[in-house]
Amino acid sequence: MLLRELTAGIDHIQGAGPAAARDLGRVGVNSVAELLTYYPRDWEDRSREVLLGDFNKSGAVCTTVTILAQDWFGSGRMRTLKVYVEDSSARAALVCFNRPFLEKQLVPGRRCRLWGRFMYKYGEIQSTSFEVELLPETDGAAGQPLGASGNNFGRILPVYPLSKDITQNLLRRLVKRGLEQYASRLENELPLPVMEKEALLPKAQALCAIHFPPDQKTLEQAKKTLIYEELFYLELMVGRRAMERRNLASRAIPPRASGEGKNSLQHRLLERLPFSLTQGQSNAVAELNQDMDSPYPMARLLQGEVGSGKTLVSFMAALKAIERGGQAVIMAPTELLARQHAENAAKLLEPLGLRIAFLTGNLKAGGRGALLGALASGDIDMAVGTHALFSKDVAYKNLSLVVVDEQHRFGVLQRHAIMAKGNTPDLLMMSATPIPRTLALTVFGDLDVSVIRDLPPGRKPVRTHLARESSEERVYAFIRGELEKGRQAYFVYPLIEADAEKDLKDAQSMARRLAEKIFPAFRSALVHSRLDEEEKRNTMELFRRGEVQILVATSVVEVGVDVPNATCMTIEHAERFGLSALHQLRGRVGRGGEQSYCFLVYSDELTDDGKTRLKVMLENHDGFVIAEEDLKLRGPGQIIGIEQSGYLNLALANPVRDQALLERTRETAFAILKDDPLFNRPENQIIAGVLRRSPPFSDLTL
């Protein structure tokens, strides 16, 4: 059976001995299927002639030459052979580093095929990186057509990623053998109508052509076919995962609680608010209400611009859960943020009769015991806290809603752990870092998504300015003016304390300098991750109350912190921060009715990347646009929450580059699943690559 043959070891390929099997094993190629899907990283087109005279018009020369003369230069171990050659267009020199044996082969008068990268040096066209293949001595002066020659000429050659002990020629040889032995029997892995609609190649042909393309056009078709296949199976996984959720523990539709409608807790909260919900907030609430009324558990991602009021939306969800006799938890990544949520909850929800607890790792033993008792007995309706919410000894009577704020700050296991405290609870994940469309289609593609695009009325866009480090005094002067008007300011630094190795400003030294030298008339304070919670809390509290006007910090203030009277954000060494951090930091201001400002202070040694990031920040306010730019700059593997999973570790497809294709595969895969929920082909699991390389999908989003 083919499947078994494909999963068998490399040594089943003719000519692959134990040594080759061992060496390939080191690059993760252990089976026939893995060898066949060990795709080239590039191709060298040796099918078309590129004359020596055109060496700088193309990446490489590919021609037939006559050997003119030999020469040696250098001495001792450095003695090196140099061979002069000529084709119909020009003369050139081959510098044969470490290849003295070529002396015997490249004798004057002989003709050979030549492939190499050339440059103009010391008055001649030279190459140190070339390959030659001798033509038979009887060969007539006219030579053969290029296509008719030996192994590595006259065709488009694959270039594989290598490692020690593995050579291009070994891989080329084994892959060729493998294809000869198995390819013709490979079945198509995509449904025929899809292949026809997209003009894709049959699987066997695509696989052969990706390794040994007969021509450029077929190579492109092969790439498209295999990329489509990868994305298709990725989306099939996404679609299946979404379906599984739906079928998972389908529960009795929760009873309508007596208080729903006009008397509902949600309604009563809205009446108490000094403002009304924005359109985006109302839509999100409507969507999650619908989810929570449905017979399968909610799995919703709430995306919203920084400051768009996601917290309030999550409170609305909590009210619905609690009204029906359930318990809700709101989990935040830092104690600072958890406390802020707890305080808001106390202010807004306690007057409605809710019993709220605040649970973090710092809770002292006595109070903690009582609190855990109350959670277990159901005397507490809502717990707000950090990862302490899912500590081993914490039990809930009836946990029915889990809210994960700043979801990307939590690992997969942590999200699992909190979900496991309930009985398939509803899940609401919140993300302030907008998720680019590509990722929404893949990594988060099985979640329902709500997006809040609007900000509460009256907010003015933050004015962003770039400033050189050398003109920081002007920035300080401007901020002094704002402080005098009664506003507050953040100063953010990349380091907590001075580091002798790095020529960077740090929060500690700058806190001193700002307090003593620059803003002596105002009160400032320092907050960073190494302070103890109590100190952090006190500082934040003073800042929130306006008793401290200047908050000097590291990126701990990045997430969530909400102080509407703060109008100035200064980020020094801004080029050191990633785009999403910069966007988050800037989002700390512009939260009230006053005009706010963000100063990105950069040092003189700017890298190109740093420059691009600052430019993106200057020109964009929309978090979704910034997130797309971030994705382009860093690639999907770098996006927080994904690098840890090894997910999107695709062989050929690049979801960012191939987004149009991705959207189509998604449509197709979802449509197929709808008709045939069991759609599957066993071979796919081996050859499609995606499944082989990726951890189970569920690990990422749940």
Q: Work out how close the CB of 280 gets to ligand ADP at its nearest, in angstroms, rounded to a whole number.
A: 9
Dihedral sign of CA atoms 506, 509, 513, 516 in order: positive
Q: Work out how close the CB of 314 gets to Mg ion at its nearest, in angstroms, rounded to a whole number.
A: 9
Residue closer to Mg ion (CB basis): 166 or 318: 318
Q: Work out how close the CB of 127 gets to Mg ion at its nearest, in angstroms, rounded to a whole number.
A: 59
Give the number of residues in contact with ligand ADP, rule: CB under 6 A. 18
**With CB under 5 A as the contact rule, which of the stretches 89-97, 195-203, 558-566, 684-692 interacts with Mg ion?**
558-566
**With CB under 5 A as the contact rule, which of the stretches 8-16, 139-147, 502-510, 557-565 interacts with Mg ion?**
557-565
Q: Which of 465, 440, 424 is nearest to 596 (CA)?
A: 465
Instruction: Dig out the tokens for 653 from the structure.
Output: 């497809």
**With CB under 5 A as the contact rule, which of the stretches 244-252, 318-326, 388-396, 560-568 interacts with Mg ion?**
560-568
The 3-state DSSP class for residue 568 equals: strand
If one asks whether residue 546 binds ligand ADP (CB under 6 A), the answer comes out as no
Cβ–Cβ under 8 Å, residues 357 and 380: yes
Q: Hey, which residues between 439 and 468 contact ligand ADP (CB under 6 A)?
A: 456
Dihedral sign of CA atoms 153, 157, 162, 166 in order: negative
Partner whose binding site includes residue 641, from ligand ADP, Mg ion, none (CB under 5 to 8 Å by kind): none
Residue closer to ligand ADP (CB basis): 426 or 562: 562
Cβ–Cβ under 8 Å, residues 617 and 583: yes
Other Cβ atoms within 10 Å of 91 Cβ, number: 15
Find tokens 């990726």 and name the residue.
694
Find tokens 């802020």 and name the residue.
340
Partner whose binding site includes residue 278, from ligand ADP, Mg ion, none (CB under 5 to 8 Å by kind): ligand ADP
Helices (H), 70-167: 102-105
Q: Can you give the three-state secondary structure of 230-261, one letter per residue?
A: HHHHHHHHHHHHHHHHHHCCCCCCCCCCCCCH
- Candidates 564, 578, 610, 635; binder of ligand ADP (CB under 6 A) is 564
Residue 565 to residue 550: CA distance in whole angstroms: 11
Sequence-ordered list of residues with C-beta below 8 angstroms from that of 217, at least 6 positions apart, any chain: none
Q: Can you give the three-state secondary structure of 345-364, one letter per residue?
A: HHHHHHHHCCCEEEECCCCC
Cβ–Cβ under 8 Å, residues 669 and 232: yes
Q: Work out how close the CB of 311 gets to ligand ADP at its nearest, in angstroms, rounded to a whole number.
A: 3
Q: Hey, which residues between 581 and 600 contact ligand ADP (CB under 6 A)?
A: 591
Residue closer to Mg ion (CB basis): 93 or 332: 332
Dihedral sign of CA atoms 591, 593, 594, 600 in order: positive
Partner whose binding site includes residue 562, from Mg ion, ligand ADP, none (CB under 5 to 8 Å by kind): ligand ADP
How far are the Cα atoms of 44, 108, 120, 195 from residue 117, in angstroms, in the given order?
11, 22, 11, 38
If one asks whether residue 406 binds ligand ADP (CB under 6 A), the answer comes out as no
Q: Work out how close the CB of 202 gets to ligand ADP at its nearest, in angstroms, rounded to a whole number.
A: 50
If one asks whether residue 560 binds Mg ion (CB under 5 A), the answer comes out as yes
Residue closer to ligand ADP (CB basis): 218 or 308: 308
Q: Work out how close the CB of 558 gets to Mg ion at its nearest, in angstroms, rounded to a whole number.
A: 11
Partner whose binding site includes residue 456, from Mg ion, ligand ADP, none (CB under 5 to 8 Å by kind): ligand ADP
Sequence-ordered list of residues with C-beta below 8 angstroms from that of 494, at least 6 positions apart, any chain: 504, 505, 506, 554, 555, 572, 573, 576, 577
Cβ–Cβ under 8 Å, residues 666 and 238: yes
Residue closer to ligand ADP (CB basis): 106 or 302: 302
Residue closer to ligand ADP (CB basis): 308 or 549: 308
How far are the Cα atoms of 180, 280, 624, 680 from residue 285, in angstroms, in the given order?
59, 9, 21, 37
If one asks whether residue 562 binds ligand ADP (CB under 6 A), the answer comes out as yes
Residue closer to ligand ADP (CB basis): 330 or 673: 330
Residue closer to ligand ADP (CB basis): 254 or 456: 456
Residue 521 to residue 530: CA distance in whole angstroms: 27
Residue 150 to residue 134: CA distance in whole angstroms: 9
- Candidates 66, 188, 311, 580; binder of ligand ADP (CB under 6 A) is 311
Partner whose binding site includes residue 9, from ligand ADP, Mg ion, none (CB under 5 to 8 Å by kind): none
Residue closer to Mg ion (CB basis): 132 or 312: 312
- Candidates 310, 339, 408, 505; binder of ligand ADP (CB under 6 A) is 310
What DSSP string describes 264-275? SHHHHHHHHSSS
Q: Work out how close the CB of 556 gets to ligand ADP at its nearest, in angstroms, rounded to a whole number.
A: 16
Dihedral sign of CA atoms 508, 513, 514, 515 in order: positive
Partner whose binding site includes residue 112, from ligand ADP, Mg ion, none (CB under 5 to 8 Å by kind): none
Q: Work out how close the CB of 621 gets to ligand ADP at its nearest, in angstroms, rounded to a whole number.
A: 14
Cβ-closest residue to ligand ADP? 309
In eight-state DSSP terms, residue 552 is E
Q: What x/- string results for residues 265 through 304 when contact with ligand ADP is judged by CB under 6 A?
A: ----------x-xx--x----------------------x
Q: Work out how close the CB of 323 gets to Mg ion at its nearest, in angstroms, rounded to a whole number.
A: 23
Q: Work out how close the CB of 29 gets to Mg ion at its nearest, in angstroms, rounded to a whole number.
A: 45
Residue closer to Mg ion (CB basis): 178 or 560: 560
Interface positions with Mg ion (CB under 5 A): 560
Interface positions with ligand ADP (CB under 6 A): 275, 277-278, 281, 304, 306-312, 432, 456, 560, 562, 564, 591
